[in-house]
Structure 1
Amino acid sequence: MNHISTQSPLESIDDGGLRQRARSVMEAERLSQAAAAKEIGVSGGALNQWLQGKYKGDNEGFDRAIEQWLSARSRRQEAASRIPSSPPFFTGPTARDILVTLAIAHADGDIVTITGVPGVGKTESAKHYRDSNRSVWLATMAPHCSSVVPALQEIAEAVGIKDMSYTGARPLYRAILRKTAETGGLLIVDEAQHLNVKCFDEIRSIHDATGIGIAFLGNETVAGRMTGGGRAGEHAQVYSRVGGRRYIPRPTIGDVRAQIEAWGVLNPDCITYAEEVAAKPGALRLVNKVLRRAVMHAGGVERIELQHLQAAWANLGGGQ
């Protein structure tokens, strides 16, 4: 953290306008003094004093730090304004299949798996389903969740447990049961390839105890992770309980066209090119990146042409 010298108090060169600009930014961005101070590189107490005109340190230096902060934020906002927003959730054939599979798990209180290559819309579909329904929770796993306690902590946070002082698997498990029992809910576990067999079994036991549906989302290795690499004995316990399996090897042409339509791109050459990009690793996610950059190159979606998609693809390292 940078420190503003307090050895030689100097009067502020600001007449109040700089303070008002700083306050306006903090109010507009709902930025606390502590958060603003962290961005500026000063202490919260010093910023509070400066805002009141009572700072006893190097006011000229403080003013300069504020000016630099405001200028940096302005540049970031200007850059962000040039980046087009992705369209809202769109429903292509694959997304519809995912939503139906989630709805079945939810309605029947069943366990399902939805697996496939990255970038085909699994996570976005899961978020859309969660946001469109009550008692649906989305817990996203990470590499550190390969053991039971971290996995349960992610689930506890997803279902809305505020007290995270639980230190063991049993207290976390019991808290999750209390929160989800008799809800008729659905727990979606994304990035499930990071879990080990014991994690899958622990989550299966949540299903058994509460009757909620469980959906495991992840890459094609999820089935192997659920069985520990084999289907014999205890390792098959979770896998054999799965009531529905949906594997997505690639996005369909309908998915790509739905995405392009959501962007408002009508040029047939652009549509064909986007279909080719969707065949690359990353699929629809990669198409979205290419379209975003192409719109920037073109200066608007209504002006987009094939050359803009090609330039965007090259900018992303395509063809290398």
Structure 2
Amino acid sequence: MNTSAGTDQTFSDAEIEEIRASCQAVMEAEGYSQADVSRLAGIKYGTFTGWFKGTYAGNNSRVAGEVQIWLSSLGEKKEAATRTPRLPDYIETPSTREFIDALRFGHILPEIVIIAGGAGISKTTACEHYARTNRNVWLATMDPSSKGTHGLLVELAEVMDVTEKHAARLAKAICRRVEGTKGLIIIDEAQHLTTEALDQVRSIYDRAHGTVGVALVGNEQVYARLEGNGRKAGFAQLFSRVGVRITQSQPRAEDMCALVKAWGITDKEEIRVLKAIARKPGALRGMMKTLQLATMLAVGAGVPRTIEHIKMAYDKHSSSFVSSGS
């Protein structure tokens, strides 16, 4: 069988059957449905199901080529994954320890806490780790589409498995869900929330009668808004209830060292360049993405990772290249 993937080649009936069998094997191994494969391979559902069942009246060879491309990409991804080192989902750093201590404070007392800082300093990583390793912790991530009160409540209901559909009763259902749980609500990307939504957070905290904590996590605008408006009616009730406030604009040098050590990097020049990347916009996240891409470039070339791979990866990742004098 001609194994070069492509949709412009012609397959024999036997080759189409072989591709169909390979697809079936992957579906059984990975637990994929026909709808899953249709979506992942980018083939219309009706077209794929007809081809898969052998009833498609169109160009079966073309569909087989599209399926083969998808199957080939799966193999390449698996091969790269086996050759690329995987790190734990959470690596403890001085900053993440401080963030988790604040979350624990809000959880145990319970209190309202604010964690505000620049992008890429591992705030979200710390929140995800805390949510994974503690009971009755609900992590909801906001975005511009969920900035209002209703959007906030919908996000909270989803992570709490609250099934109330009536918008007017949603807040009460969420309050009933958390009251008495001694839990913690973590709201990430909280800078998106409107004044009304923030006041809704305060209302949920109050109506839980001191049995659930709240953590507002986001960029520095979160704390700036609350502090700057703390005496205004719309913010005073919330700001006065904040027990712990953490603000950090940049990663610490110790954070960079902890991540570099986790990757097993000892070359002084590589460490210098990686720390320079971590001081730029994107911070630790930018450093980690660069290092992951550099590793993939080295794996693809079949050679050990070098500083040239790191510089090449950063050049691809950012328009601001790390010069030798950084």
- Alignment RMSD (CA, Å): 2.5
Relative to 1, partners in 2 of residues 1:173 and 1:217: Cα closer, same or farther, differing over 3 Å? same
After TM superposition, the score normalised by the length of structure 1 is: 0.86
Any idea what SS the aligned residue of 1:22 has? helix
1:74 aligns with 2:77: no
Structure 1 gap segments, 5+ residues each: 1-10
Overall identity of the aligned pairs, in %: 33
Contact in 2 for aligned 1:197/1:226 (Cα 8 Å): no
Q: Deviations over 1:276-297 (max 9, x none)?
A: 1111011000000111122233
What is the 5 A alignment of 1:173-212?
173-210=171-208, 211-212=211-212
Distance 2:20 2:290 in 1: 41
C-alpha distance in 2 between matches for 1:127 and 1:15? 44
Q: CA deviation at 1:47?
A: 4.4
Size of the aligned set, in residue pairs, is: 303
Q: Which runs of 5+ in 2 are unaligned?
A: 1-11
Q: 1-side partners of 2:197 and 2:85: how far apart?
A: 37
CA distance in structure 1 between the aligned counterparts of 2:173 and 2:76, rounded to whole angstroms: 45
Whole-Å separation in 2 of the counterparts to 1:19 and 1:82: 24
Amino acid in structure 2 at the alignment position of 1:41: I
- Corresponding letter in the other structure for 1:303: P
* Distance across 2 between alignment mates of 1:69 and 1:186: 45
- Counterpart code for 1:116: G
Whole-angstrom CA distance in 1 between matches of 2:303 and 2:125: 26
Q: CA deviation at 1:71?
A: 1.9
Residues 143-183 of structure 1 deviation map (CA, whole Å, 9 limit, x = unaligned): 1222100111111111122x3633x2x31111211221211
Larger CA deviation: 295-304 vs 66-75: 295-304
Paired residues of 1:120 and 1:283 also in contact (CA < 8 A): yes
After superposition, the Cα gap between the structure-2 partners of 1:49 and 1:305, relative to the gap in structure 1 and judged at 3 Å, is closer
Q: 1:111·1:214 contact (CA, 8 Å) conserved in 2?
A: yes
State the Cα distance separating 1:48 from its structure 2 match.
4.4
How far did 1:20 drift? 1.5
Query: Structure 2 matches for 1:105-254, cutoff 5 A?
Result: 105-161=106-162, 163=163, 165-166=165-166, 168=167, 170-210=168-208, 211-226=211-226, 229=229, 231-254=231-254
CA distance in 2, matches of 1:257, 1:130: 25
Q: How does 1:225-304 map onto structure 2 within 5 Å? A: 225-226=225-226, 229=229, 231-299=231-299, 303-304=304-305
For residues 162-217 of structure 1, the C-alpha deviation after alignment (integer angstroms, 9 at most, x for no partner) is: x3633x2x311112112212111000000000001111111111111222010000
State the AA in 2 paired with 1:268.
Answer: K
- Specify the code of the residue in structure 2 equivalent to 1:263: W
- Give the distance between the partners of 1:21 and 1:295, measured in 2 at CA: 30
Q: Give me the TM-score of the superposition, normalised by structure 2.
A: 0.84
